[in-house]
């Protein structure tokens, strides 16, 4: 565990909402590490998404009182944006932790990093320039299998925004992060990202769980994050 309390700034995926991380925030706080969880959904509904999102994040964080070392913890689609978020903050960031998340690809778009058929499939599903909610990208709906609590499942489903498909083509911020980073792998689709983190010498923890475990089983995820941070800070 980190020797002193850290302030964990949790960043949810642009394709989900804060309900996907709220239980994790509570778990970290119960272990003595205050957590900040913003609602970034209003910033992802119209292009240019990256520019609006980073500006809104910086504005919201300027209103927060942060004590001790500040770390950014990004889940899923928030991972590639973590260096940009860190760069947007006035106060220094002590480290970044990627939780079942993609790694940064500065100057490249989401479309550049995935197989061409996947983008084509999502483009065909879009309506009036907006993507369907995240859970509707798949069949069957992954929330049915991953989130057994019906109230939590409904909250996560209702919060998922309809993101502009233009977001998938926008170049990610060309920001290079040179500070400490770590990784927590939750599910097999992120094995390649976890392996890349290992190759870069990052501390890493691998859990045998699923992608939405920060919402459904936050305790082990919080402990894994803190173990990684104990090696970073």
> What are the domain boundaries of the chain?
7-107+174-232
Instruction: Decide which of 3.90.550.10, 3.40.50.1820, 3.40.640.10, 3.40.50.620 is the CATH code for 7-107+174-232.
Output: 3.40.50.1820
Specify the pLDDT at position 92. 85
Tokens of 197: 């983190």
Tens-place pLDDT, residues 164-215: 999 999 999 899 899 999 999 999 999 999 999 999 999 999 999 999 999 9
CA distance 53 to 29: 25
What is the pLDDT confidence band of residue 1, given thresholds at 50, 70 and 90?
Answer: confident
Specify the pLDDT at position 4. 86
CB 74 within 8 A of CB 82: yes
Q: What pTM, to 2 d.p., does this model score? A: 0.96
Report the percentage of the chain scoring pLDDT > 70: 100
Name which of 130, 131, 124, 146 is nearest 217 in CA terms.
Answer: 146
What is the pLDDT confidence band of residue 29, given thresholds at 50, 70 and 90?
Answer: very high
Other Cβ atoms within 10 Å of 197 Cβ, number: 22
- Following DSSP, what letter does each residue of 106-161 receive, concatenated? TT--TGGGS-HHHHHHHHHH-BTTBPPPGGGGSSS-HHHHH---HHHHHHHHHH--
């Amino acid at each position: 565990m980190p020797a002193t309390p850290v302030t964990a700034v949790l960043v949810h995926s642009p394709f989900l909402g804060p309900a996907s991380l709220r239980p994790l925030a509570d778990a970290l706080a119960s272990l003595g590490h205050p957590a900040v969880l913003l609602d970034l959904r209003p910033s992802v509904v119209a292009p240019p998404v990256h520019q609006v999102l980073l500006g809104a994040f910086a504005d919201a964080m300027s209103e927060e009182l942060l004590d001790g070392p500040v770390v950014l913890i990004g889940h899923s689609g928030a991972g590639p944006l973590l260096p940009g978020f860190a760069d947007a903050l006035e106060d220094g960031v002590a480290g970044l932790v990627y939780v079942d998340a993609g790694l940064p690809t500065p100057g490249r778009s989401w479309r550049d990093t995935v197989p061409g058929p996947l983008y084509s499939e999502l483009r065909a599903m879009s309506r009036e320039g907006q993507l369907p909610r995240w859970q509707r990208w798949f069949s069957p709906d992954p929330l049915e299998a991953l989130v057994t609590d019906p109230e939590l499942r409904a909250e996560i489903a209702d919060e998922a925004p309809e993101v502009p498909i233009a977001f998938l083509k926008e170049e990610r911020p060309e920001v290079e992060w040179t500070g400490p980073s770590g990784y927590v792998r939750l599910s097999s689709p992120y094995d390649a990202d976890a392996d890349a983190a290992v190759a870069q010498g990052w501390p890493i923890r691998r859990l045998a769980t699923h992608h939405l475990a920060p919402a459904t089983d936050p305790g082990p995820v919080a402990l894994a994050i803190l173990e990684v941070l104990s090696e970073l800070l």
